[in-house]
Amino acid sequence: MDFIARDHDDTVLERHVALLSGLAEKVAAQEPRAAVAVEVRDSYRNMGPFIEQSPRVVEAALEAIRRAGVEPTLTIVRGGTDGAVLSERGLPTANIFTGGQEYHSVCEWASVQDMAAAAATIVELAGVWSEPS
């Protein structure tokens, strides 16, 4: 069996992993014929702690969104985003909307108008970053 353990809080994530490891050990103890191995691999880190260290990243994104004529809303995203990988590698990266809805579901869709607003946001973001801080 394969499990993916995720959480916004690294401490809680460690508890999830410990729970799964403990269950595997319990199965192995109850059934000596079972071959049980636990392998824990990090696929990507929670980007929250990296972003918290660089608040200007979010401030710039919010300003760019407003300049593009959209009222920003902040939500927590947990997933294997490029922003998570880039943040872990030293480039704090906030996720910005793309125009998509219902991600990774059979109902996933994208609005042309929202994609245009996302593209305008990126142009505005380049302007925000070019201004002196």
- Are 88 and 44 in contact, with CB atoms under 8 Å apart? yes
Given a cut of 80, whether residue 117 has pLDDT beyond it is yes
Please give the average per-residue pLDDT across 85-112, as a whole number.
90
Three-class SS of residue 100?
Answer: strand
- What is each CA distance from 115 to 50, 52, 57, 111, in whole angstroms? 27, 27, 21, 6
Rounded mean pLDDT, 19-48: 88
Q: Cα(4)–Cα(38) distance, rounded to whole angstroms?
A: 12
Per-residue pLDDT, averaged over 18-38, amounts to 91
